[in-house]
Structure 1
Amino acid sequence: MDKSPDAFKTISEVAEDIDLPQHVLRFWETRFTQIKPLKRGGGRRYYRPDDIDLLRGIRHFLYGEGYTIKGLQRILKEEGIPFVQAVGRGEIIPSPAPQPPSADNLPEAFATQEPHSSEPVAAFSAGLASTSSVGQGNLFEVAAPVAPVRELSAGRIKLLKAVLEDLKECERVLNRLKLPG
């Protein structure tokens, strides 16, 4: 017997519905405080339709758009639960997450540069500055535009700040994993 669309669903029904293992849904509850299924005796979870829309939105951002948990937490904080629920219902199609640079989408000056080179980037004179942190425990070189910030939209600035924070967190994790010698 099929349930009404407004009926509460168990974790097994939701997991099947959105094609995820139950343990992933439980894990998400620990990372996204916005997920609040009703819990009855024995800890059994019951999800409301809004909970399911939120889970679908989270799934879309993490798996469909490639966001990190931290990035999605930021979206939930800045845009709110209704936004992510609307994405889960397919009412809003969010802009795709920024993709990491590849040889296909790098400026020509970067694509021709030798990997791990500490030489200044050839594009320096074209308005780019190269900052190298090699030898200071960092694993990469960063070339950043020097263009005035006023030329970037507020949304782009917010996105760049989020990416920078994610990169700093990655660097902290990598530094903790360094082996002696």
Structure 2
Amino acid sequence: MTKITKEPTAFRTISEASEELGVAQHVLRHWEDVFSPVRPMRRAGGRRLYRVQDIELLRGIKRLLHEEGYTTKGVQKILKSDGADHVAAIGRGDVAPSSAGTADANTSELLKELEGLLADVKSARNVISKLV
């Protein structure tokens, strides 16, 4: 049986999108529930058709989750702060994922600063308890 190759701009069914992205179909359906910008077109009967931009977005989500180690909530934050176009650009390879993680980097720096402040407070509390 000869495999028919589609134009790069052609719509993809869920099975074709699944194969192209290397994830199971149920994962794509789950991502629709979890990531609000993932909205493939629907034909009569509910059949999903993925546009090029849908595939790029999904590729970006997959890269952030599977290669960069982001959590679902982390990817949701990136989608909210930087937008779906930014994540799609990650999927195309136009933007480095590390630049998308500035919020996570800032959070990490703040956490370190807070841990230092907590240590200072504990130290001050020990000094005060000895004086009383």
Corresponding position of 1:160 = 108
Corresponding position of 1:50 = 53
- Determine if the alignment matches structure 1 residue 2 to structure 2 residue 5: yes
Corresponding position of 2:126 = none
Corresponding position of 2:129 = none
2:79–2:87 contact (8 Å) kept in structure 1: yes
For structure 2, the residue ranges without an aligned partner over 5 or more in a row are 112-132
- Determine if the alignment matches structure 1 residue 18 to structure 2 residue 21: yes
Higher helix share: 2
Corresponding position of 1:85 = 88
Question: What percent identity do the matched residue pairs reach?
Answer: 49
How far 1:156 moved relative to its partner? 3.7
In the TM superposition, what whole-angstrom CA distance separates every residue of 1:91-149 from its partner, at most 9, and x where no partner exists? 11221898xxxxxxxxxxxxxxxxxxxxxxxxxxxxxxxxxxxxxxxxxxxxxxxxxxx
Q: Highest relative contact order (Cα 8 Å, sep 6+), 1 or 2?
A: 2
1:75-114 map, 5 Å: 75-95=78-98
2:60–2:89 contact (8 Å) kept in structure 1: yes
Question: TM-score if structure 1 supplies the norm length?
Answer: 0.55
Opposite residue 9 of structure 1, the aligned amino acid is R
How far 1:162 moved relative to its partner? 9.5
Cα distance in 1, alignment partners of residues 30 and 86 from structure 2: 21
Higher strand share: 1
Instruction: Give the paired residue count.
Output: 108
Corresponding position of 2:32 = 29
For structure 1, the residue ranges without an aligned partner over 5 or more in a row are 99-152, 164-181
Cα distance in 2, alignment partners of residues 49 and 40 from structure 1: 17
Opposite residue 70 of structure 2, the aligned amino acid is Y
Cα distance in 2, alignment partners of residues 13 and 154 from structure 1: 33
Question: TM-score if structure 2 supplies the norm length?
Answer: 0.74
- RMSD over aligned CA atoms reads 2.6
- Determine if the alignment matches structure 1 residue 73 to structure 2 residue 76: yes
Cα distance in 1, alignment partners of residues 110 and 27 from structure 2: 24
1:65–1:97 contact (8 Å) kept in structure 2: no
- The runs of at least 4 aligned residues of structure 1 exceeding 6 Å deviation read none
